[in-house]
Amino acid sequence: MKRGAAFVAKYLIYLALIVCISFFLPRLLPGSPLSVLDESTVSQNMGASSQAFQAYYAPDRPLPEQFVRYLGHLFQGDLGYSLTAKRPVLEMIGQSIGWSLLLAGLSLAVGIPLGIWYGIRAGMRENRRSFRGVALVVLQGIPVVLLATVAQLVLCYQLQIFPKRGAYCVGMTPGEPGYWLDVLAHMALPLLIMTLTEIPSIAIFAYNSTMRMKGEQFVRMANYLQIPQKVIRRRYILPNILPELLGKLSIQCITCLAGTLFVESVFSYPGIGLLLRTATANRDYTLMQGILLVVCVLGLVISGIFDLLIHRNAEKC
Amino acid sequence: MNVIHSDRLSLGASLLRWWSALSISKRVCSVICLLYLLMALFGPVFAPYGADDFSSSSLLPPSWEHLLGTDEMGHDIFSMLLQGFRLSIGVSLLAGGGSTLVGTLLAFASCYFPRVGGLIRHLANLMLILPEMVVILFVAIFAAPTMANTVLAIVFFSWPRVFRIAHAKILACMGKNKVQYTLLLGGNVLDVARKVGRDLYPVFGTLLVLQCNRAVTYETTLAFFGIGDPLLKTWGRLIRSALNYENFFYDTTFLWYLLPALLCVVGFVASLSILIFDEDRIKDD
């Protein structure tokens, strides 16, 4: 009971810190339209002089009053109006988050098992070269946006194998026959890119852990007793590397979230990534702040889930 | 009395020892990295045109006059690429070095002063939960679009990763006998730092390369979103300009506009990654 309360308290504090960061960061940055440090830039920004901006941020009020206003808005669920699309930010994010979660969730569901399987398998083999560590490390290092851009250029436009952009062909509605097939077709390439960028680090981690486990007494005994490799992998190695793996996966899921945003912005997939692209292109401050808040809260939720999983796993042992 | 041998080698001897321990692929990669550094230092000297010179005709294909052709405004792409070496590698070194320095100093401070260390550790844990790239984007949008702000944003949000690894290592190192003796004999912070540093400088070297690697990725992604100084043409900016070209997907312009900058970035990242790749114990995040 006490541990549960400590857990909830920790995450509430994190949430409070995120809200504070999201409030103070724009106001402390030099050149920001909300900056409290240099007053001169407030009037120079075009987007900053609009009614919506003034109404939501009230930059001429004293700082504590701004903070109270901000908290009040958050509790009412009001994330402001997007400066470019003139729609409530919460509504825009609400429409897009489904697609983002779909893409991220599917890529994790495919990438994590594949990565673990490949890492453990290669770790159990005698030949170290078969792991292709160099290729994986290079793949891990390449920026996602570049990989996605090249893939889109070559596979979508030059070779015309995959659909070019979006989540479904323009004009199709969920009720029509063939809609889901269309969605799958459009999702194929983004999913492929996402999975390709996730697998290396998971595989490398699983490989390292397996190499460490291989020397243990009980694994050597299992080998001596001629227990089949598949059983060793599943029953002996996997449960023992699970605790560290869960910690690693927690960070990996958050990185995957950011990667999803970038892949979406390249492929114009109607998730949060596309909102991010329009926000950065048009300097849409309210939208950007809303996206930051939502993505950080998502990261917090993911981290909390993995914390619980690690805890359950530790208790089981 | 026994003579206590110092275990410090001269710079040349330790370099030689490091080189002879490398495999072939790593030697190739370190030569490539050195070439990149040399290009960063001396490359723009060989540029046929200035990087800001847009007096040529626009969108010329490659020729002897313009080795990689020109862009929509008439800049010579080859000169911009050479300038990009200096800018991108400079940003990478500054941001990577800065975040490594900050992370290491904070890790050492948190090991030496345990109470403050607890606070810093919690802050680092929180910052690790937040997706770095999104926060950096957020910061970069609000701040004025200068190169210094980009570097500062990257440093400010990458130090937690360095902190986590460095903290674990420094903590282990401070438990060793020699550091405990130093503390017992009333050594100050600098003495302890010197003892710890002597043991751990390979770790810091690896962290530095990792962070430089990551800084290039961040800078390229930021430039992809159009953030950063529009006049300083790093490779990321060049790639962004190539993507802005309206016929990008439909003709072959990308071959000489996009591809060179892309290959430079990928080559840099790949050779840095391979350099710190260790077959026995592969470095993970």
Highest mean pLDDT, choosing among A230-244, B85-99, B177-191: B85-99
Q: All domains of chain B, ordered by start, with CATH?
A: 28-45+60-284 (1.10.3720.10)
Res. B100: pLDDT tops 90: yes
Q: What angle do CA A259, A263, A268 make, to 5 degrees?
A: 145
pTM: 0.87
Q: Between B46 and B37, whose confidence is greater?
A: B37
Locate A223 and state its tokens: 């080998």
Q: Are B228 and B139 in contact (CB under 8 A)?
A: no
Locate B261 and state its tokens: 């900058």
The pLDDT of B130-149, averaged and rounded, is 84
Q: What's the confidence (pLDDT) of residue A240?
A: 82
Dist. CA A149–CA A111, nearest whole Å:
20
The pLDDT of B235-241, averaged and rounded, is 89
Q: What's the confidence (pLDDT) of residue A80?
A: 80
A133, B279: Cβ pair inside 8 Å? yes
pLDDT in tens, B245-261: 877 777 777 888 888 89
Q: Are A299 and A252 in contact (CB under 8 A)?
A: no
Res. B180: pLDDT tops 90: no
Locate A245 and state its tokens: 């793996």
Q: What's the confidence (pLDDT) of residue B285?
A: 45
Q: Are B87 and B219 in contact (CB under 8 A)?
A: no
Res. B279: pLDDT tops 60: no
pLDDT bucket at B284, cuts 50 / 70 / 90: very low
Helix (H, G, I), strand (E, B) or coil at B66: coil
CA distance A19 to chain B (A): 12
Measured between beta carbons, the chain A residues lying within 8 angstroms of B154 are none
pLDDT bucket at B163, cuts 50 / 70 / 90: very high
Q: What's the confidence (pLDDT) of residue B22?
A: 77
Dist. CA B66–CA B76, nearest whole Å:
6
CA distance B131 to chain A (A): 6
Helix (H, G, I), strand (E, B) or coil at A85: coil
Q: What's the confidence (pLDDT) of residue A43?
A: 47
Res. B1: pLDDT tops 60: no
- Which of A137, A156, A244 is best to mutate for the B interface (most B CBs within 10 A)? A137
> How many residues are there in chain A?
317
pLDDT in tens, B188-231: 778 788 888 888 888 888 889 999 999 999 999 999 888 888 88
**Which residues in chain A show pLDDT less than 50?**
42-43
Res. B282: pLDDT tops 70: no
Asked casually if ipTM beats, i.e. exceeds, 0.90, the reply is no
The pLDDT of B79-94, averaged and rounded, is 91
Measured between beta carbons, the chain A residues lying within 8 angstroms of B266 are 142, 146
CA distance B175 to chain A (A): 24
pLDDT bucket at B2, cuts 50 / 70 / 90: low
Residue matched to tokens 């397996």: A210
B141, A280: Cβ pair inside 8 Å? yes
Inter-chain contacts counted by CB atoms under 8 A, chains A and B: 148
Q: Are B221 and A262 in contact (CB under 8 A)?
A: yes
Q: What's the confidence (pLDDT) of residue B211?
A: 92
A204, B129: Cβ pair inside 8 Å? no
pLDDT in tens, B38-57: 988 888 888 888 777 777 77
B281, A211: Cβ pair inside 8 Å? yes
Q: Which of A97, A19, A82, A140 is nearest to A260 (CA)?
A: A97
CA distance A114 to chain B (A): 17
Q: What's the confidence (pLDDT) of residue B6?
A: 54
